[in-house]
Structure 1
Amino acid sequence: MSYASWFEEHAQKHKKIVDKLLSKGFSKEQIIEYFEFENMVEMEKDFCPLYAENKKCHDIEELNCYLCACPNFRFDDKGIEKIENKTKYSYCSIDSKKGELSTYGDAMHQNCSGCDVPHIKKYIEDKFDVDWKKIMKDCNLMGIIKTKK
């Protein structure tokens, strides 16, 4: 699955849940609370494939899933740049010390598994919008491949 197709599919799932909560009169705080991992595993089993195993994507105690994916993640399915013989497809715009660029064959992808930035309640409160795509608007880069030696 490409980044762009995952992004669109996830945006639709996120919107469906948020619309349901808004129709019930949920406040910003209640919506954020609803997206806590323990609640999502029970109430929204189809939101994440890891929920079937009751498994977290990040090893943190208070995991919130509102920003599944990160506003600081950047991607382009066509590639961002060539580095030697490898194509970089994603990176972290804030160069988080908790993330890393990993190489898989001739592809380079941002590995965010060690980063908890978008899953912390305070961060979500600061970035909050009921429209997930507005928060994530800068993620999908439609650039051309540049060469870097």
Structure 2
Amino acid sequence: MTYKQWYLEHGNKHAKIMEKLKDKTKDEVIAYFKFENMVKNEPDFCPLYKDNKKCHDYDELNCYFCACPNFRFDDDGVKKQEGKTLYSYCSIDSKDGAQFEGEDYIHQNCAGCLVPHKERYIKKNFNRNWFEAMKNVNLSK
């Protein structure tokens, strides 16, 4: 699956949940996206939910920004570095992020970063329209 395919599919899943929550306040929506609630009420939102597994080891994990607004991707590659194609990166260069490098590619590895999963960040960047909140992520448009 390409980044763009995932992005579109995930955004549509997010929109369906938001439609169910259209009468809820911002704080109620954010609370709904807590990991424990999502595993129980939205089992198809994330493939890890079927095993009750978190993508990040964090007690207060919130899945509203399952994808991070600071992530950038281009399925065709953004630029070459030392003969390698850069397909994704972190726009804020989070100190907890890393890059996964193969023989000829580089992808962002967000596994160690919790930035978008904290309620403080979600409240600051909240948008009921996930695609609007994520508008800068897809560089390949």
TM-score category, normalised to shorter length: over 0.9
Shift of residue 130, structure 1, vs aligned partner: 0.4
Shift of residue 84, structure 1, vs aligned partner: 1.8
Map of 1:59 onto structure 2: 57
Q: Percent identity?
A: 57
Map of 1:103 onto structure 2: 101
Question: Please, which runs of 5 or more residues in structure 1 have no aligned partner?
Answer: 144-149
Which of 115, 122, 127 matches 2:125? 127
**Superimposed CA distance per residue, residues 9-32 of structure 1 (whole angstroms, 9 cap, x where no aligned partner):** 00000000000111xx21111000
Following TM superposition, the consecutive aligned residue runs of length 4 or more in structure 1 with deviations greater than 2 angstroms are none
- Equivalent residue pairs, number: 141
Which of 20, 30, 33 matches 1:32? 30
After TM superposition, the score normalised by the length of structure 1 is 0.92
Which of 76, 79, 82 matches 1:81? 79
After TM superposition, the score normalised by the length of structure 2 is 0.97
Say which SS state the counterpart of residue 54 (structure 2) adopts: coil
Shift of residue 122, structure 1, vs aligned partner: 0.6
Higher CA-based Rg: 1
Shift of residue 67, structure 1, vs aligned partner: 0.3
